[in-house]
Amino acid sequence: MAMRHARIVGAAVLATLVSAAGVGAQKPFAAFELPDTAVDVSRYTTIEECWAAVHRVMGDVTAQRKRLDADNGIVWDTVFDGSPDEEVDSVVVSAVAETARRCMARFAEPDTLPLDMYWIVAPLYMHAGWEDKARALVERRLAAVDPDNQTELVAAIDSIINLYLGGFEHRALTIRPPRYDLVDEVVDRYGGRIADRLKRIRLYQRLAEWKYQDLLSDSVTERPGRKYMKRMVALLGSLTDAERQRLPEEFNAMLYSPEEVTGGILTLAGLHMGGFLVVLDSLRSSTAAFVRLARESFASLVGTAPDAIPLPMGEQAPTLEGLVLCGEESCEPRPRRGRVSIVVFMSPGDNGCIKVIDGPNRMGANWCSLTLNRLRQFQDRFPELDITIVARSHGYWGYHKEGITPQREAELTRRWIDSFGLERAALVMEETDYWRLPHPDERRIDRESVNARNYSFGGRWPVGERMWFLIDEDGIVVYGEHGIDRVNKPLLSALIEALVSRKGARAGT
């Protein structure tokens, strides 16, 4: 199950900026001249005008940084990988903070401000560096909620968590870096007041998406959010049958059964409550040992049987069916024996992938472009890795409908993949069987994908867009999940590294 969300400019960009500026080991922006973003805040008399001023400064400085990047040959589409790098964003943060402090000086008393303005004032306080004022205002807002009004309570907690985690909405300016400690304060004090246990489970799961980037950390017991996973598992085990039936609706997973949603939650909990590092080294020995130990470890952590852990592990990977279009690699059937492979299901022409990552707040980003960028990073880091993208025909590609054949869809998809620098990746395009509704409707209704059915392994693992499978050199599935995001990317990277090292050791290299 994918229950996840995803550095804009990472270490590679930082190194490029330093090199381009010719400043050696100095700070990356030693040669960076701030644009003239000063605003005459003495003329601003409302909180909304302060919001606009701070927003303008953030946009101007970030745009200037993007132009500097472009001058040095850095395109954000190719380096985006989640939340902003704190050091690179220091220029933006300092400029925004100064503007926020000057403009908000006349609104610096949180006890006197109307509560209906907290969603603007709290982030402005945070940007100004007035953390205590922001906390006082948030406390006033939560204390004012009628405990019997659960809808308002859940909405208030959710909006405040979004504020502290740096979520960007039209109402709030992005806070960098995220403040997990302040989130903990809010959830510990008010989370237990949410009467609907499914909504509490959803809250804890959301925190997991943001907080657990230390999956491969040796300090399992010190992970700050481990307590939320324990609470989530405890609540899940105590649900009534009626509550369990509501799980797909609560998690926006209506295509999945309550059992599948439960399994996905337990898998997430098993990964983050520890145990993964214990079994990772076993993969360097054999996939069978890894699968056995991983299932046993996860099962013991979440209190279920090893066979009940819903992970596609230890299965023989079927040969993919369809037209194979390869870039610089051989067009043999995929996955290839003797090669470590990652197989990703996605159909760019059908799911709105025709976008670019744009803007300081990534408003143009989508999961498709992010997935392809991350695959390119794996391609560059692991030349031995086979990458295969599995698509299916739909009778159109984006806005193109006239003259679109399965072969034409494959060609356009191949070009789209290449545009992300994935020239070595293979594309398998399955010609989809379909039927049409009777006249006068005549809409095309696609039948089940053969490849998706084969990779569901008897229906035990539903395969949808973004589903990926890591396969060893013997054709055995090592691991699989929905989506390559900032949470599971370190995990996937560690697994690939272990497999590649093992294969090299066997070959005597």
- Closest by Cα among 295, 13, 10, 54 to 173: 54
Q: What is the 3-state secondary structure (H, E, C) of 47-107?
A: HHHHHHHHHHHHHHHHHHHHHHHHHCCCCHHHHCCCCCCCCCCHHHHHHHHHHHHHHHHHH
Q: Which residues contact 218 (CB under 8 A, 6 or more apart)?
A: 277
Residue 352 pLDDT: 63
Q: What is the largest CA-CA distance in the chain?
A: 72
| C-beta separation of 81 from 377 below 8 A | yes
Residue 273 pLDDT: 57
Residue 197 pLDDT: 92
Was domain 323-506 assigned CATH 3.40.30.10? yes
User: How far is the C-alpha of 160 from the C-alpha of 375, rounded, in Å?
Assistant: 33
Cβ neighbours around 80 below 10 Å, total: 23
Q: Find the distance separating the first CA and the last CA of the chain, reported in whole Å.
A: 37
Which amino acid type is present at position 506?
R
Residues of the chain whose pLDDT is less than 70?
Answer: 1-42, 62-91, 167-172, 208-226, 255, 267-279, 298, 301-303, 309-310, 328-330, 351-352, 354-366, 486-487, 504-509
Residue 12 pLDDT: 29
Backbone CA torsion sign across 127, 98, 42, 173: negative
Radius of gyration of the chain (CA): 25
Which amino acid type is present at position 469?
F
| C-beta separation of 283 from 292 below 8 A | no
User: How far is the C-alpha of 139 from the C-alpha of 133, rounded, in Å?
Assistant: 10
User: How far is the C-alpha of 508 from the C-alpha of 402, rounded, in Å?
Assistant: 53
- Closest by Cα among 202, 215, 198 to 273: 215
Strands 477-482 and 434-436 turn out to be unpaired
Q: Note the residue count of the chain.
A: 509
Q: Which residues contact 53 (CB under 8 A, 6 or more apart)?
A: 39, 41, 44, 99, 103
Q: Which residues contact 273 (CB under 8 A, 6 or more apart)?
A: 220, 226, 229, 230, 233, 301, 302
Element (H, E) at 160: helix 150-164
Q: Where are the domains of the chain?
A: 11-197, 198-311, 323-506
- The torsion angles phi and psi of 400, rounded to 5 degrees, stand at -85, 125
| C-beta separation of 412 from 397 below 8 A | yes
User: How far is the C-alpha of 145 from the C-alpha of 88, rounded, in Å?
Assistant: 39
Using one digit for the tens of pLDDT, what is the confidence trace for 379-391?
Answer: 999 999 999 999 9
Q: Is 349 exposed, middle or buried (0-12, 13-18, 19+ CB in 10 A)?
A: buried
Q: What share of the chain is helix, strand, coil (3-state, %, to 5)?
A: 50, 10, 40
- Closest by Cα among 92, 98, 33, 106 to 61: 92
Query: What CA–CA distances, in Å, run from 406 to 110, 179, 387, 397?
Result: 61, 48, 21, 10
Element (H, E) at 262: helix 258-272
- The residue with tokens 């059915």 is 453
